Structure 1
């Protein structure tokens, strides 16, 4: 994205989380060194799995890297308790092994120049520490996998509670970070984090539970039985992530066609998309709707290629209402032919509708259309070569509130600009 907020707004909690993760990890290492490492074969095997998981982490969406093997292995190490284990690991040892293994996994990525994020890794250490404390509090030394149904039910409940505590803590922290970095409403950010937790987090947690139960009963022979399917799942996720990146690249290439043909100024579509995403964040749209909004903003000018001549400087606002709406309809038809961007096509189709005659009377028109309309107008007033100040542009857009522009979207734009958004 070309648009961004001031640098100070991107720091803050990330530094606090990194420091907190380091402090918790150092305390765990210190206590473990002082008391000695128990059941070292399990510590080495699970530490190795965590390190490998960190090394092969990947990014499925645009939010942050995922390390399902590292997460599942660290949670499994928390919940080891059975006849094959002997003495279950102490909380301090769990934290120490997770911290050292995480650093061991991040180091090769840093040396190789691959993406890594110490804040995300610190969050994982903190959530594992929370799970370890929770599990230790709700279990007793004699509560092990021993064939007893009562023990099995109690241990399963304790495992679920530990996994949920780790997930909820991470979701709260993630929601706070999204609120700080992207100015999303905290309830909306928490909603999105909890959705991710139920879809991905619980899958990793349940895998950790299976790994812990199998290892507790069968010993380290059970590790390959659970990890191999997880590796295959991670491979499938990586393929999906690669396809998503290719998809985004294709959309951006399509968007550049209007710039090459002179129907929009260089970088105009990317700037419009950056502002549209900032407004969508402010309004708390879901990730799926945010993705569709970004694509619609990038492709909103595709229909202009069917018009006779480019607008001067790519300023589509200089065209007549009929020309703009015809271009939007043509653009929507082009996007629909892809077969996978139907919602994006609907956003583009109504992106030039006046609010008074559109969404004000038809609630089925997506609010994303109004966002694209306002973002494009602001970009053409303030973007490169236009010369207007943000205050002057807001004044011009304000004159169209309720008639041309959605009042809710304009209020959101005012907040985004007031927080220091710049192209």
Structure 2
């Protein structure tokens, strides 16, 4: 999961994704040509799994703000690559697997595009690439003439080959995704790869296991297994959608709370969002894990909530004009308010220390999260450069630089320099 809010991120993502889309299309066209030359084998299986992949694409959804998910399409495409059994006859070769996956993917995307619904051709192309790698790995370890007749002696190598293929697909997709995130979001590649592998272990393995189960059933009893095995896939789809819906509701609630300070005049319009935008950029630069990134974003959005307890708003929402005591009291009150939600304890801890001077805080207490220092620096920069301050980025960096080691965490200020140096703008 990647958190990015700057306005250039989508353009960068499309730029890096263009290579992935082209690679997917080249694979698809080449596979379609080869399949046309050799002829289509077992067309009922090709048609059934193609329809399943297309249906999965049509009901894709966004689960983590950075990409769409299509668990049914992924499981079905992997299952089609893993067919080996008495009822399959001549199993599809690598080219046919890629061709069917590619055509079915385009067929599933088309209705969404026509209806004006969200769709992600980059992620769909990544699936074509990873399925091609999975099919290649499977054919490399399972002989062409291997037919599973249900015996356990045959099941061991077959299941091992299936798991190898699924793992290959997951690792390839993780590597491609990590490279894409690194280019688009300026996130260190090791951190991006770590996050992608975590997602693969959580969501990807569920889809991979669904594909293995579907392939095993279809290989032994034919297409009758598809409606039987599709139930777990539908449950997986339902669980993912519920999770995505809960995340959207959660995020909307936090943003509504953040807007309360703007409505009351304690922060300028959009100030909290701009602070979160910069904090997220620095969190990406420092390679924080997704859970910490989410807490950082929420803490930056809610960093001004405690100001509502103060007698009067700061002019233009410039909390830096407050005394140290007032700012720390506001931070403590804000943390207490956030803690009452019962689910944002880590966010409350970040906010509680978001106004602590580095020299008297994190420098002497490693338990204070680095996210507090990120929020502190992001808020200072926003107030110097934003609507209330009006300083140039260079002047703001000079002002913040004077507080390194005393007011601000040196590691965080270095991160801010890199983010600003890459052209970050509110």
By how many angstroms is 1:384 displaced? 2.1
Cα distance per residue 1:241-291 (max 9 Å; x no partner)? 111101111110110110011100000000000000000000000011000
Between the aligned partners of 1:244 and 1:10, the Cα distance in structure 2 is 23
User: Any residues of structure 2 matched to 1:84-95 within 5 Å, and which?
Assistant: 84-95=87-98
Given the alignment, which residue of 266, 278, 285 partners 1:263? 266
What residue in structure 2 maps to residue 21 of structure 1?
24
Q: Quick check: 1:237 aligned with 2:240?
A: yes
What residue in structure 2 maps to residue 101 of structure 1?
104
Q: Which 5+ residue runs of structure 2 have no aligned equivalent?
A: none
Q: CA RMSD in A?
A: 1.2
What residue in structure 1 maps to residue 202 of structure 2?
199
Aligned 8 A contact 1:259 1:265 in 2:
yes
Aligned 8 A contact 1:3 1:271 in 2:
no
What residue in structure 1 maps to residue 52 of structure 2?
49
Between the aligned partners of 1:203 and 1:234, the Cα distance in structure 2 is 10
User: Any residues of structure 2 matched to 1:149-164 within 5 Å, and which?
Assistant: 149-164=152-167
Between the aligned partners of 1:142 and 1:2, the Cα distance in structure 2 is 52
Q: Quick check: 1:253 aligned with 2:256?
A: yes
Between the aligned partners of 1:11 and 1:278, the Cα distance in structure 2 is 18
What residue in structure 2 maps to residue 340 of structure 1?
343
**Corresponding residue SS for 2:62:** coil
What residue in structure 2 maps to residue 143 of structure 1?
146
Cα 1:136/1:111, change in 2 over 3 Å:
same
By how many angstroms is 1:10 displaced? 3.8
Aligned 8 A contact 1:355 1:406 in 2:
yes
What residue in structure 2 maps to residue 383 of structure 1?
386
User: Any residues of structure 2 matched to 1:107-118 within 5 Å, and which?
Assistant: 107-118=110-121
Q: Quick check: 1:278 aligned with 2:243?
A: no
Q: Quick check: 1:132 aligned with 2:112?
A: no
What residue in structure 1 maps to residue 171 of structure 2?
168
Q: Quick check: 1:225 aligned with 2:228?
A: yes
Aligned 8 A contact 1:60 1:238 in 2:
yes
Cα distance per residue 1:150-171 (max 9 Å; x no partner)? 3211111111111111110000
Cα 1:8/1:46, change in 2 over 3 Å:
closer
Given the alignment, which residue of 66, 70, 74 partners 2:73? 70
Cα distance per residue 1:12-49 (max 9 Å; x no partner)? 32111111101100111111122221101000110011
Between the aligned partners of 1:9 and 1:223, the Cα distance in structure 2 is 40
What residue in structure 2 maps to residue 308 of structure 1?
311
Between the aligned partners of 2:150 and 2:224, the Cα distance in structure 1 is 19
Aligned 8 A contact 2:13 2:180 in 1:
no
Aligned 8 A contact 1:2 1:270 in 2:
no
Larger displacement relative to structure 2 (134-143 or 412-421)? 134-143
Q: Quick check: 1:298 aligned with 2:301?
A: yes
Between the aligned partners of 1:152 and 1:2, the Cα distance in structure 2 is 48
Aligned 8 A contact 1:293 1:344 in 2:
yes
Cα distance per residue 1:196-253 (max 9 Å; x no partner)? 1111111111111111011000001111111112112211221221111011111101
Cα 1:2/1:386, change in 2 over 3 Å:
farther
Aligned length: 423
Larger displacement relative to structure 2 (174-183 or 235-244)? 235-244
Larger displacement relative to structure 2 (133-142 or 331-340)? 133-142
Given the alignment, which residue of 343, 349, 353 partners 2:352? 349
**Corresponding residue SS for 2:69:** coil
Aligned 8 A contact 1:171 1:193 in 2:
yes
Aligned 8 A contact 1:306 1:330 in 2:
yes
TM-score by length of 1: 0.98
Between the aligned partners of 2:67 and 2:13, the Cα distance in structure 1 is 15
What residue in structure 2 maps to residue 414 of structure 1?
417
Q: Quick check: 1:3 aligned with 2:2?
A: no
Cα distance per residue 1:348-387 (max 9 Å; x no partner)? 0000000000000000000000000000000000012422
By how many angstroms is 1:144 displaced? 2.1
Cα 1:300/1:178, change in 2 over 3 Å:
same
By how many angstroms is 1:149 displaced? 2.8
